[in-house]
Each structure stands twice: as structure tokens, then as C-alpha cells.
A and B are shown apart, each in its own frame.
Chain A
Amino acid sequence: MKDNLPRKRMVNVGMGILGVVISLDGLTMPFRSHEMTTIPVHHLLHSGMAAGAGLLAMALAANLPRRDRERGGWVLPAVLAPVAGLALMWPSEYAYLMGHHWLHFLDHLGIALCSLLAVFAAQAYVRGLGWPTLVYQHLERSQQSGHPAAGDG
């Protein structure tokens, strides 16, 4: 049991670092890439960034004290944050955002924060619910690739 503790901590730190790297890559993308991709590819990139933010959330939630009871206040953010995150993936605005890097950055920041909040909140509500939320969210965003905008090239 004692041997497992440092290993768990190492896994958490590794997961957190991986999450930060993926999230930072997604957040800084608007300043590094100025080419318009297709909407499905753009949404796939968002889903990758959301997964990174989710990993970071799981690493952060590992520090929450163990508790057998529900933390009921966390349910609403766990359910509503993905709604807000999806609303930020408004396909018809991408062309405008591609020309305004800071706005695009803020959009990515919002998507990443929504993912982070949803996964952290689910894990905070009841330990163990963070992982399914992370996977569901990742699938949700990647599935939005079936959502082409008018004039999607």
C-alpha cells in the first residue's frame, strides 16, 4: 500500500504535466497556425485540447480529500460546463476568429476551462465520475465534426 502511494503521485504528476502540455499546445495554436482547416478537423483539435484539460483536472482532483458522501454542489457545473464548452464551438464564427488571434485564443481558453471544470466537478461530486466525464466530453467534441458550417471547405 505504501509503495503504491509514490507511484500514484507520480502518475498524477505525469498526468498533470501531460494535460498542461496538451492544453498549452491547443491554447497557443491560434498564434502559431493561421490556416483555416475544415470544421471537422478544427473540432477534432478542440477535442484533443479538451482531453488535455480533462487530464489536468483529474490530476488536480486527486488532491481532494476522500469522502463517501456526495458533494452535491458540484453536479451542476459537471452537467452545464460541457453545454457552455460546446456553445463556444460555434462553426460559423471560425472564419472571423481565424483573423482575430486573441479572440481565437480566448475561445480556446473558454473551451479548455469548461472541460477542466466539467471533469473536476464530476470527480469532486463522487470520486470515479471524472474519468467517464472526460471520455464522454472528448467523444462529444470529436463527434461535433459531423457539424459542418455553410461554406465549409
Chain B
Amino acid sequence: MWRRRTGGDTRRSSGTARAAAQAEPAGPVEPPQQPALTIDALGRKCPIPIIMLAERINQVAMGGVVAVLADDPAAFTDVPAWCRLKSHEHVGSYELPQGGWSIHVRRNY
């Protein structure tokens, strides 16, 4: 069920899409670490998914992974940007079969 998305979006045109296809392995990719906590933010608009993440990330142990399920396109950019601002690690974003992504974040502190 997992397919890795490294960046960009479906609106991107052929050149980038081609480059991305070459860079990514074909077929489903397993996330490297199972999440210790899953936050269901499907159907919620940004900034709500980020607020839920910020509220709950301390519920996992240091080094643990939180999965944020979100389908607002803003979350695809905003969760990794939040990680950068807050010095947590964006592990990866994986497409969900029903649409949206499971966005994995590792707690760093």
C-alpha cells in the first residue's frame, strides 16, 4: 500500500515527472520504521493537521515516528516545513490508496 513521494505534486509537468520517475524505485516502498503513533487528520484543512502533530508528538518516545494521515494538499508541503522549523525529522511521505498521504515524522528531542 505504500508508495513513496519525495516531492512535488501531480501538477508538475513532464520534465520533472520524468526525472522523478527515474530517481524513484518502481512499486511500493515500505517505510523504514513503523510509526508509534498515527494521527488521523484526513478531511482536516491546514493548519489543523500541523496543530494536531505539534500537540501529540511528545506522546512518542525520543526517536519514535509519528504518522500524520492528511489529504489537504497543503499538508504535503507544510508537515515537512514544520519539521525543518522545529528541528524534527521528516522521514518520508507515502501515498495512501484512498488519496492523501501518510507523512512520517521522527521526534528528535
A-B interaction: no
Which residues from chain A sit less than 8 Å from chain B, CB to CB?
A: none
> What residues make up the interface of B, taking CB atoms closer than 8 Å to A?
none
